[in-house]
Every structure is written in C-alpha cells, then in structure tokens.
C-alpha cells in the first residue's frame, strides 16, 4: 500500500522515486551533460563565481552540482556571502547570486567590506525577486514593533538574516540590531541575554521561528542546569526562565513555503511515520517543530537550519555505516524540497565509501503525492510544485518557493552570455542600490553593521564591546 507522502529512495548508485512529486524531483538529479559542459565553459571564460541557496530549483542545482568549476557553492544564506568573498580572494572576477534579493544585497555588502567593491554582483533576472518573510519586515506592523522596542531600556533586536539591507538599517537606527541565521539564532539570543542579563531581546520578523524559540527555551528551562550549560555555558535554568520574561517576537511574519507544514501534515507524520527521523527548519509552524523537537530528544530528529538538517542526515548515515548493518533510514523533510539535491549528492558520496552494502536513505516529502505542475516543456513536461504558483496549504501542495523558482537555468545562461556584451545591459541585474541616508550614514553601510556584529560573535564567541555598549546606553524613545 502506498504511503501518504511521496518519497525518494537514495541508494549508492540508484535513485528510486515514489509518487509524482518525487519523480519530478528525480528527473533533475541526473543533469544533461551538454548543459553542464556549457555552464563550466562560460564560468571559466569569464571568471564567474556562483553562490546559490539550498532552496534553488532542483534542475538548476543538478547542473551546478555536476560542474567542475571551483567557484560554485550551494549553501544557506549567510554562508553565501562568505563563499563569495573566498571566491574573490581566489580570483573570481564576477559573482552571480542565485537566490532572492536580500541575498544578493548581503553578498554585495560583504564584498564591499572585504575590499572587493570592484567585483560586480549579479542577480539571475532583472525583475525583483521577492520574499514574503522579508517583505513582512517592511510593513507598518514591523515598524510599530520596533517603535515599541525602542521605548524599553536595554533592548536589543535580533533580526533574521532573511531581510533587506534597508530593513536592517532602519531597525539598527532605532534599536541596537544584530542579525542571525537559523543555525545560530539560539546562540545569538542567549548571548544577548548573557551579556546584558536584565536586557530585553526583540526577535523578528519570522513568527514561527520566534514561537519555536520560546517553546524550545521554555522546555530547556525545565531541565537541569547541566543540560542548559551544555547549550550555553553562561546560562542555567533560572537565567533562562528570567530571560523568557523579556523575550519578544513579532507576530505577523512568515514564509509562504514553511507555512505548509501545519497541523494536518503533522497528524499524518505522527500516524504513518511514527519511527522515522523528523527534520524541521526553525521556520516551520509549531506543530511540526514540536514533533521534530520531541523526536530530537529521542535521537530521532533535528530542529535548526538547512545546514543542520543536512549534517543530521549525514551523521545518521555515518553511524549506520559504523554499525556495519544494512538498513533503510527514513527522514521526513520538514523544509523546502530544493534541499533534495544537496542531500542526494552527499548521501550517495557517503554510501560510495561505505563498506557495508544495503544501507539506503529514504527522504519523505510531507506534501500531496500529486503535487506537480505541467510546464509545457517537451523535455521536462512536469515539475514539482503546484500549477498556481505559491500553493502552500495544510493539505500539501508544493514545499517549493515560488520566488526562488525565478532563478532558472535559462536565466543563468542568458545572464552569462550577456557578459560578452556591453556591461550597461546588465545593470538591471545588480543588487538593489540604496541612495537613501539615515542620519549621516548610507543605508548599505548602516544595514551592513548588524551583519558585522554577527561576524564578531561567530569569530570571538561574544558580542562586540561596541554592540553591548549600544544596548546599555542607547536612549529610549518616549512612547
């Protein structure tokens, strides 16, 4: 009897899809060699580096992952900027960002800081590539949220990296702001409370992530001090309980893709996949997060970022290989389906070096089995996702980001061929340029500062003195 959700079975030298959704994804995991060779040639000729997000469409990821160019990196959003800097240090003369607009803005800002202002950055297409989550931080509701934060002494604002430079700049002008990613949001929030013990932390714009953080920290505060210190050495159960009274999150922001993973999907996971590993991105609704968190305590799940999910799957495969026993490891993928390219590549690479035969990995997509769209293309007539576009519902339907899908293989080729012509034609592909000033500083400069505060935390394990001083001494605004 077929399972409720489609899945992709990954073996050492074989991919076995079950359900139309998985079949459409599997089509892209064996890319056309002519497209791979053509892309490699264009990248080499022009000295182009490509940074792409895990949520990129599978067709594009399939070709990218098969290329030989050393200047290609598929990752989460913050690592994209780091990778671009390293590519420029290794001689890349152009950087193409395959993602949404805030990603290209972040890459541009970090290249400027690193001394590569002369290296052009391009988006795959000229039209704006939006993001429902980033746009929620540009609303009047978010402005009101920050205005409230500015009336409370010793407040810091932890803003998700998935926002525009303008959002970061306007926020930092009102409340001392540091960015975070889904992989370090817990560390960032706890460090803010550790260094300003009586301070308030305001998180946004992702509502589900804020709710999930609160649930996770409240659950942790009920445990013993040793468990808490294992997560952060300067906290114990009592300090976490106190911090929760001063933790705030925005209530009106979410991602259209992660909104998919609601109560109806979770009920099926609980009923039909009781012993499977469950992975959940920090951005998913609380029901899915709670299932993954509960299984994490049993060693059967993980909550966190795309990178955390990828690492978790790899670690389970490695553990099974050490046991030397054949088995099928099943994982419910609680995030965007575009991750399957990186998962399949890493799993098959691990299985290729595994001495034990018969280990296989099944990736389960918690969406409708029939969730595909007709493309009208003769060679690839169907694609994973809904015909209508965003199509995210509790009944299942896509688990694919409609904005990321604006980055297509055809658009990438057209952009790269444009490098042979006048560069003026590519100006519409540049990241958004902000001429606006806030006080004496430009938006790009001020918006880049919260990212630099995060860099400091990552490198030194502590907030910068300047950021802590700003939290403690910033004058509050009258309500």
Query: What is the CATH number for 60?
Result: 3.40.50.10800
Write down the pLDDT at residue 22: 85
The verdict on 469 and 348 lying in the same domain is: no
* Dihedral sign computed on CA atoms, order 409, 414, 415, 420: positive
Quick one: pLDDT band at residue 73, thresholds 50, 70, 90? Answer: very high
d(CA 164, CA 107): 11
Indicate if 111 and 160 belong to the same structural domain: no
Residue 82 is assigned to a structural domain of this protein:
yes
Same-domain pairing of 261 and 189: no
Which range is least confidently modeled, 82-86, 211-215, 375-379? 375-379
Tell me the mean pLDDT in the region 205-212.
89
Mean pLDDT throughout 99-112? Answer: 90
Mark whether 271 and 196 lie in a shared domain. Answer: no
Assess whether pLDDT exceeds 60 at residue 386: no
DSSP result, 56-109: S-HHHHHHHHH---SSEEEE-HHHHHHHHHHHHHTT--EEEEES-HHHHHHHHH
Take residue 32 and report the two structure tokens written for it.
Answer: 């056309």
CB neighbours of residue 206 within 10 Å = 27
How do residues 324-344 score in pLDDT, each as one tens digit? 999 999 999 988 777 888 899
- Its domain, for residue 153, covers 133-252+435-473
Task: Provide the pLDDT for residue 256.
Answer: 56
> Are both 246 and 358 inside the same structural domain?
no
DSSP 189-204: HHHHHHHSTT-EEEEE
Tell me the pLDDT tens digit for each residue of 6-45. Answer: 899 999 999 999 987 788 778 888 888 999 999 999 999 9
User: Given pLDDT bands bounded at 50, 70 and 90, which one contains residue 259?
Assistant: low
Please tell me the number of Cα atoms within 13 Å of 209 on its side-chain side.
30
- Which domain-ending residue is among 385, 403, 421? 403
Tell me, what's the pLDDT at 75?
86
Which are the contacts of 469, defined by CB distance < 8 A and separation ≥ 6? none
Per cent of the chain over pLDDT 70 is: 90
The predicted structure's pLDDT at residue 290:
85
**Judgement on whether residues 221 and 263 belong to the same structural domain of the protein:** no
Q: How many CB atoms lie within 10 A of CB 68?
A: 11
List the end-to-end C-alpha distance of the chain, in Å, as a whole number. 61
Helix (H, G, I), strand (E, B) or coil at 323: helix
Cα torsion 25, 31, 32, 34: sign: positive
Res 281: pLDDT: 82
Q: CB-based contacts of 184: which residues, under 8 Å, 6+ apart?
A: 454, 457, 458
DSSP designation for 425: G
Domain assignment present for residue 2? The answer is no
Strands, E, within 86-154: which ranges?
94-98, 121-123
Same domain, 20 and 46: no
Same domain, 302 and 358: yes
Q: What is the pLDDT of residue 397?
A: 32
Q: Are residues 222 and 299 in the same domain?
A: no
Of 253-257, 263-267, 435-439, which has the strongest mean pLDDT? 435-439
Same domain as 246, residue 373: no
For 114-158, what is each residue's pLDDT tens digit? 999 999 999 999 988 877 778 888 999 999 999 999 999 999 999
In the chain, how many domains are there?
3
In a domain, 248, yes or no: yes
The verdict on 125 and 137 lying in the same domain is no
**311 and 336 share a domain?**
yes
pLDDT at residue 433 tops 70? yes
Mean pLDDT across the chain, nearest whole number? 87
The mean per-residue pLDDT over the stretch 54-62 comes to 82
Look at residue 261 and give its three-state secondary structure. Answer: coil
Binned at pLDDT 50, 70 and 90, residue 373 comes out as very low
């Amino acid at each position: 009897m077929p399972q409720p959700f489609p899945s992709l079975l990954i073996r050492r030298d074989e991919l076995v899809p079950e359900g139309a959704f998985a079949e459409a994804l599997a089509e892209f995991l064996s890319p056309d060699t002519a497209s791979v060779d053509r892309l490699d040639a264009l990248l080499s000729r022009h000295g182009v580096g490509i940074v792409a997000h895990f949520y990129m469409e599978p067709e594009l990821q399939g070709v990218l992952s098969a290329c030989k160019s050393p200047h290609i990196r598929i990752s989460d959003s913050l690592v994209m900027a780091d990778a671009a800097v390293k590519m420029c240090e290794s001689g890349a003369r152009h950087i193409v960002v395959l993602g949404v607009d805030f990603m290209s803005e972040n890459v541009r800002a970090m290249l400027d800081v690193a001394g590569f202002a002369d290296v052009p950055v391009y988006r795959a297409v000229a039209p704006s590539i939006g993001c429902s989550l980033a746009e929620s931080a540009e609303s009047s509701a978010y402005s009101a949220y920050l205005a409230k934060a500015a009336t409370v002494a010793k407040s810091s604002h932890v803003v998700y990296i998935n926002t525009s430079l303008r959002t970061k700049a306007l926020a930092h002008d009102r409340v001392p702001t540091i960015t975070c990613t889904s992989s370090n949001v817990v560390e960032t929030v706890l460090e803010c409370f550790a260094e300003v013990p009586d301070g308030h932390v305001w998180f946004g714009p992702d509502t589900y992530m804020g709710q999930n953080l609160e649930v996770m920290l409240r659950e942790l505060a009920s445990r013993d001090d040793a468990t808490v210190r294992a997560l952060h050495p300067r906290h114990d159960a009592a300090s976490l309980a106190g911090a929760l009274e001063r933790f705030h999150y925005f209530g009106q922001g979410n991602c259209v893709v992660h909104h998919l993973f609601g109560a109806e999907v979770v009920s099926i996971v609980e009923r039909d996949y009781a012993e499977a590993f469950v992975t959940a991105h920090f951005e998913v609704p609380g029901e899915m997060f709670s299932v993954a968190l509960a299984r994490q305590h049993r060693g059967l799940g993980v909550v966190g970022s795309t990178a955390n999910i990828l690492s978790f799957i790899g670690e389970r495969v490695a553990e099974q290989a050490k046991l030397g026993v054949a088995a099928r490891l099943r994982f419910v993928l609680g995030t965007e389906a575009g991750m399957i390219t990186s998962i399949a590549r890493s799993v098959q690479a691990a299985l290729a070096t595994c001495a034990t035969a018969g280990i296989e990995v099944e990736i389960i997509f918690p969406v409708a089995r029939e969730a595909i769209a007709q493309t009208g293309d003769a060679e690839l007539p169907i694609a994973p996702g809904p015909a209508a576009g965003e199509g995210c519902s509790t009944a299942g339907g896509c688990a694919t980001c409609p904005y990321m899908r604006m980055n297509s293989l055809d658009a990438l080729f057209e952009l790269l061929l444009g490098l042979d012509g006048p560069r003026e034609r590519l100006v519409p592909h540049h990241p958004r340029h902000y001429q606006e000033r806030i006080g004496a500083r430009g938006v790009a400069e001020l918006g880049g500062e919260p990212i630099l505060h995060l860099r400091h935390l990552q490198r030194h394990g502590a907030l910068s003195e300047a950021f802590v001083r700003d939290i403690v001494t910033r004058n509050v605004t009258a309500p």
